[in-house]
């Protein structure tokens, strides 16, 4: 089997690489910034996981707001939110990346263990890439691959005060269940920011807490 080396594209190349996918640097960056602003709006009175949840949820929402008018569609697969290209050949999801996100000389991974839907996305990518490589080694054209799922990795660097992003094509998970192997990495320009918020827990959507509602039974014949 052909072992194709990963491809990495630097910020200066990002726009031209995103264009065939129907994406732009501004769409991805502005969506991620909306997510960051949502996290910054949280106060100490919000639940502990609110910062991460709002950042993740608002980034997904902002991506859909920008892409649906361009013919993309939203899809939710049992709580796993995607936005899918008009052709159906490309899907995007959002995840928090570690400190290697957006850095040329590092290999990033997701910060949280991924659930079955992310695993399915990765496995589908692997099958597509392997089948195509075996079929035509001499005429490899990734543009003809079908149904590939990309992750928009988001990382906030507190030391450098910058938001780092990359759109990357996952093809493997490590023993801890984190996505750590990539077929392609499109590194986006870093965005400087100012803020006074601690590390964000941008992970898989947390389960809603169960709320127990007390039931008060009326006594028969009783008044108010």
CB-based burial, 181-192: b 16+ in 10 Å, e otherwise: bbbbbbbbebbe
Mean pLDDT of the chain: 77
CA contacts within 13 A on the Cβ side of 137: 5
The pLDDT tens digits of the residues spanning 120-148 come to 666 666 555 444 444 443 433 444 445 78
Query: Which DSSP category does 198 fall into?
Result: -
pLDDT digits (tens, 9 = 90+) for 67-101: 999 999 999 877 788 999 999 989 999 998 999 99
Going along 62-158, which residue ranges are E strands?
Answer: 73-77, 80-84, 90-96, 148-157
Mean pLDDT of the region 150-167: 92
Q: What is the DSSP letter of 40?
A: H
Render pLDDT for 26-54 as a digit per residue (tens, 0 to 9).
999 999 999 999 988 889 999 988 888 89
């Amino acid at each position: 089997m052909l072992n194709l080396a990963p491809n990495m594209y630097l910020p200066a190349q990002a726009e031209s690489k995103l264009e065939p996918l129907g994406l732009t640097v501004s769409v991805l960056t502005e969506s991620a910034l909306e997510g960051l602003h949502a996290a910054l709006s949280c106060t100490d009175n919000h639940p502990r996981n609110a910062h991460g949840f709002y950042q993740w949820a608002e980034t997904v929402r902002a991506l859909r707001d920008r892409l649906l008018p361009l013919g993309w569609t939203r899809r939710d697969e049992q709580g796993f939110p995607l936005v899918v290209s008009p052709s159906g050949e490309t899907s995007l999801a959002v995840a928090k990346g570690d400190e290697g996100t957006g850095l040329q000389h590092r290999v990033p991974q997701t910060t949280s263990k991924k659930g079955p839907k992310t695993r399915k996305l990765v496995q589908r990518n692997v099958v597509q890439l392997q089948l195509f490589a075996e079929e035509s080694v001499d005429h490899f054209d990734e543009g003809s691959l079908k149904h590939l799922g990309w992750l928009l990795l988001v990382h906030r660097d507190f030391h450098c005060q910058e938001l780092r992003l990359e759109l990357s094509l996952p093809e493997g998970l490590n023993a801890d269940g984190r996505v750590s192997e990539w077929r392609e990495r499109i590194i986006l320009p870093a965005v400087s920011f100012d803020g006074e918020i601690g590390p964000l827990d941008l992970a898989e959507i947390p389960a809603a807490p169960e709320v127990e509602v007390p039931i008060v039974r009326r006594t028969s014949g009783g008044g108010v």
